[in-house]
Amino acid sequence: MPTDTLSEFLSFLEKNNELARIKTPVSPCLEISHIADRVSKTPAPHPHNELDRSFASNLGGKALLFESVAGSDFPVAINTFGSYWRINQALGSNSLEDLANRVQALVKPEIPTTLLQKMRKLPHLMRLASYAPKSVRSGLCQQVILEGEQADLTKLPIIQCWPQDGTLEPPLMANPSALPNVSQRGTGRYITLGSVFTTNPLDGSRNIGMYRVQIYGPRLAAMHCHVHHDGARHLRLWKSQGKKMPTAIVLGGPSVLPYSASAPLPPGIEEIMFAGFLNSAGIELVKCRTIDLEVPASAEIVIEGFVDPHSPLMEGPFGDHTGYYSLADYYHPFHVTAITHRKKPIYPTTMVGRIPAEDYFLGKATERIFLPLLRMIIPDIIDYTLPASGVFHNCAFVRIKKEYPCQARRVMHAIWGAGQMALTKFIIVVDENIDVHNEQEVLFRLFANCDPQRDAEFVHGPVDILDHASPDLGVGSKIGFDATIKIPGEGQVRPYPPDLVMDHEIKQLVDQKWREYGIS
Ligand SMILES: Cc1cc2nc3c(=O)[nH]c(=O)nc-3n(C[C@H](O)[C@H](O)[C@H](O)COP(=O)(O)O)c2cc1C
Ligand SMILES: [Mn+2]
């Protein structure tokens, strides 16, 4: 079952031998990050039960709770969702497949026509209504309220993940001609697992995104929100009104929250509703103290403030999940107006770097949960996967039931038009008999079945901001490979040879006689 608070979730993990408490004093700078990095590359205590057959599927180690962190009174939780078992527990599912089936049932377009059908549908609709957030008057997250000068980010155990994080040297800048304002130098410490709450100033609709936030001083930080994401869209709207954007960074709270913040929901579909759906009950929200926003009442810590769209500052670099540093560039300052927290809060964070790390499992949850939604717009897709080697935005393997010429290309173009999937740099499309979760199998078909000139589809367009190979930031080329068996109408095609498959009878015969052969 999902839990209401982070501390409850950690107790649950501890009971299940999934949490290690570290009492030895540690530094928030690099030490915690390196321990988490090592642990995430070791086997997870509970085995996984997912389709993923990559090297990463059984890894993740334990969640870690550092009880004594230099410079802060608060403990640090890390790697909390960093295995298949733990992310499933957080989302209240046995497997991500089960969760995808729940989403499938939700999106199935069954429009009731008769009265009886409508009545049958009623409990379902009532359940949907129960997923809406509920406003409450007070909350755990406001047991301690620090406003104005009392609010101090440097009292939180915010970690530095990689040695060159926040180092402003020209080679580490996306825009080397830009002169960083030295009065606004980042500390290299980043809030990495914050759920960032904002609203659309035009209609009041809410968004939650997971964006890193670098600390510059007690009440100054910078928010790294990509131009393609909803938080940046909200900021542009606030800017056009000549206003700063009220923003709350929520740490902890319901166990479904961090994943929901990272989920690529279409603009206008509220993550807080989705969190309620995953939680099987609406999330309780309390009013912020200094800004006009509501946040989960059960959060450990809430940082309230405004993002100023008018005065950009140099943000980054940051060792990222791409396995490289994302370079420093202009982003926007976040001015803190209050920090509220529960008594004895736990500070949650994550370390990103080479996969497998914690965010691999958050990304895999998205891969599975969004399959039904992807299939609503592209029904040709039977299954897909974002392989570990592609770090999500770099590569998708897609399995289709091929029925007509150039269908694979149609699927590619549909993906390049679909939400955050549009940023996918390499798409490999295979036939329906290929297991996309087996990377070796997909690569084998790609290399064997493609004539590179005939079967590649190049396009040009927006790419992920973290892609460092594209000629321009956020703009570059993308390629799709049609690795299906070619049929007439797809250019010059010779007959494809059949797969090597042994006769069933011979396999049975050899099975029966195996011991006789004496091949031990
Ligand atoms: C651990 C983690 C860190 C992330 N950091 C960032 C970030 O710094 N900036 C960003 O724009 N997206 C980041 N993302 C991805 C977004 O959270 C994700 O794309 C989300 O769907 C964006 O939501 P939105 O479309 O509502 O803005 C991160 C995701 C995870 C799991
Ligand atoms: Mn969104």
Q: Which residues of the chain carry a pLDDT beneath 50?
A: none
Atom 28 of ligand 1, nearest CA residue: 210
d(CA 368, CA 385) in angstroms, rounded, equals 8
503 is catalytic: no
Read off φ and ψ for residue 372, nearest 5 degrees.
Answer: -60, -35
Ligand 1 atom closest to the Cα of residue 366 is 21
Burial of 68 (0-12, 13-18, 19+ CB in 10 A): middle
d(CA 400, CA 10) in angstroms, rounded, equals 40
Place of tokens 């800004």: 291
CB neighbours of residue 390 within 10 Å? 18
d(CA 478, CA 490) in angstroms, rounded, equals 20
CA of 272 to the centre of ligand 1 (A): 15
Give residue-wise pLDDT tens across range 256-301: 999 999 999 998 889 999 999 999 999 999 999 999 999 999 999 9
Read off φ and ψ for residue 158, nearest 5 degrees.
Answer: -75, 130
Q: Which residues line ligand 1 (CB under 6 A)?
A: 192, 207, 209-212, 224-226, 229-231, 262-264, 350, 352, 359, 362, 420
Tell me the pTM: 0.95
CA of 226 to the centre of ligand 2 (A): 12
Sheet holding 134-135, edge to edge: 134-135, 284-287, 294-296
Q: How far is CA 376 from CA 111, 372, 400, 408, in A?
A: 15, 6, 14, 17
| 8 A C-beta contact, residue 369 and residue 96 | yes
Quick one: pLDDT at residue 109? 58
DSSP 246: E
d(CA 495, CA 130) in angstroms, rounded, equals 56
Atom 1 of ligand 1, nearest CA residue: 359
Ligand nearest to the CA of 79: 1
| 8 A C-beta contact, residue 395 and residue 54 | no
Quick one: pLDDT at residue 294? 98
Tell me which of 262, 326, 350, 352 to substitute to probe ligand 1's pocket, judged by most ligand atoms within 8 Å of the beta carbon.
262
Place of tokens 């992310």: 87
d(CA 29, CA 134) in angstroms, rounded, equals 38
**Upper half-sphere CA count for residue 479 (Cβ side, 13 Å):** 9
Read off φ and ψ for residue 210, nearest 5 degrees.
Answer: -105, 105
Q: Which domains does the chain have, with CATH numbers?
A: 6-97 (no CATH), 112-349 (2.30.110.10), 378-482 (3.40.1670.10)
Q: How far is CA 123 from CA 129, 130, 273, 277, in A?
A: 10, 10, 18, 14
| 8 A C-beta contact, residue 59 and residue 40 | yes
CA of 169 to the centre of ligand 2 (A): 33
CA of 196 to the centre of ligand 1 (A): 9
Quick one: pLDDT at residue 361? 97
Tell me which of 161, 206, 210 to substitute to probe ligand 1's pocket, judged by most ligand atoms within 8 Å of the beta carbon.
210
Quick one: pLDDT at residue 129? 80
Ligand nearest to the CA of 268: 2
Ligand 1 atom closest to the Cα of residue 352 is 1
Ligand 1 atom closest to the Cα of residue 230 is 27
Ligand 1 atom closest to the Cα of residue 209 is 23
d(CA 430, CA 401) in angstroms, rounded, equals 9
d(CA 321, CA 325) in angstroms, rounded, equals 9
Place of tokens 């090297």: 55
Closest CA to 222 of 254, 189, 271, 178: 189
- Axis-axis angle for helices 358-369, 96-107 (nearest 10): 40
Ligand 1 atom closest to the Cα of residue 208 is 26
Quick one: pLDDT at residue 281? 96
Quick one: pLDDT at residue 520? 79
User: Which member of 230, 320, 359, 482 is catalytic?
Assistant: 320
| 8 A C-beta contact, residue 268 and residue 205 | yes
CA of 264 to the centre of ligand 2 (A): 6
CA angle 282, 283, 284 (to 5 degrees): 115
CA of 225 to the centre of ligand 1 (A): 7
Quick one: pLDDT at residue 171? 81
Residue count of the chain: 520
